Structures are given as structure tokens and as C-alpha cells.
Amino acid sequence: MLKNVLDNKENYQPSLSIDCVIFGFHDNQLKVLLIKTKHSHEWALPGGFVPVDEDIDDAAVSVLYGRTGLKGIFLRQFATFGAVKRNSIDFSNRVLNFYGIPLDEGKWYTNRFVTVGYYALVDFLQAVPQPEGKNEIVEWIDHHVVPDLILDHKKILDKALETLRMELNLMPVGYNLLPEKFTIPELQKLYETILGRKLDRRNFLRKITAIGILTKLDEKKSNVAHKAPNLYSFDQDKYNEVVKNGLHQGW
């Protein structure tokens, strides 16, 4: 909570924060985890301050765990945001007023903050949105219908999505976003949703198979109206190897 941070501000790096864009995939939608607080009609990305005795990546891991209850998830730093006027004095004062914090006591919070952006890919069904107290709502929202966001959080979200799309050409995705067993059409839909465009079915199958990260299971998807498609899983060792070494193809 903000009051606790201000009471112990010597434990936090001044003028430095973290904002996290947490992506999940569900019902053929790429969703982003957002926070709504009672002091604003706008939504926000999950974020926090950086303890002086903690590496910034570790601080981001702490934010993600606190908001999803998950550990060991895919996390990548993608940009730093430090525009001179990215902090709004009116917004900061409104937050302080909501929590009953006098302006002189909240000066540390109203100073200019540079924020480091991270994006994370998580299993939607495993993540449990975690509000901090009764003044927050935490929800998954389709990235196509994101409401108004505070400060420059829309810019941060857009940059995260742009980075994810670009990195699809450099690494595979899916292990962190799909269930353990999935079909090729489900994997293709994930790629199409991220890229925002249709992909040729045969070309996608050829390319994704050539990467060598899929294991075809001796199972078929149940409860489908038409011919049941085969189920696949990721070969985790090969997947991690490709993530480490990178891809050499585009979508």
C-alpha cells in the first residue's frame, strides 16, 4: 500500500518504478491483466516500486507473483519510459488525497518517476488475479477493448504488444500461454491473435513443425462437433533451446 511505502521510503529507490504488462490467452482472446482503483475512473497496469536492496528483475518477479500467484513465468524487460511529464501532478495529488496523505508527506511520490516496462506471458487458467485490499479490482480484459488507462500506461501496453509481435520472429510462444495439451488450430489462433492477422494454415503447420518443439500425442480433442483434431504438447527441453538460440524465420 502507498502509505506503507511512504512510511518506509528509505527502503525504496527514489524516482524508479516498474510497470508490468501481463498477457494471457483465453477463448481465442489475448488478454491483459489490469487494475482499477477507487481513486480513478481509469485502469492501470500492475506495477510497483523497487527496493534498494533488490535487483530490478527480482522486483518485477515480486510484482508478478503478487498479482498472479505464479512463479517461474516468462518475463522480459522491453523498454524504459522516462518522459519529463509522464507523471501527472493532478493524478498524484488525487491518489494522496484518496489515502488521506498530506501533500508534504507525499512529496517523494509526486516526484518524477522513470519506469521500466516488463511483459509476461502466463497461463490464464493458472493465474489468480490478486487485488491489494478492498480498494482495487483486478481483471483480465481483451487487449482489443482496453479502457482508458492512467498516465502513459496505454503507451507502455502498446509498446509491449509491438515488442511481442516483433519477437515472434525471434522465438516461439505458446508454452506460457496455452494449456499443456492443445491443437494446431489453437496454436495458430494464438499466433494470429498476437499478430492481428490471418496466417495460411498449411504454411503455419510447415513452419511450426520445422521448429521441432512440438510432440504429437496419441490423443484427440474431445467434445468437438466435427472430426476431432490431434492434440500436441511442447517438448520443453527443445522449446527452451529454441528460446535461448532464437529463430531464423518470420511469420
Residue 105 has pLDDT above 70, yes or no: yes
Percent over 90 (pLDDT), the chain: 71
pTM greater than 0.85: yes
Q: pLDDT for 61-100, tens place per residue?
A: 999 999 999 988 899 999 999 999 898 889 999 999 988 9
Which fold, 2-167? Nucleoside Triphosphate Pyrophosphohydrolase (3.90.79)
Residues of the chain with CATH 1.10.10.10: 184-245
Mean pLDDT of 184-195: 95
Summary mean pLDDT of the chain: 92
Picking from 174, 171, 180, the residue whose alpha carbon sits closest to that of residue 233 is 180
Q: How far apart are CA 14 and CA 30, in angstroms?
A: 34
Residues of the chain with CATH 3.90.79.10: 2-167
- CATH class, range 184-245: mainly alpha
pLDDT score recorded for residue 229: 86
Residue 248 has pLDDT above 80, yes or no: no
Q: pLDDT for 12-40, tens place per residue?
A: 999 999 999 999 999 989 999 999 988 88
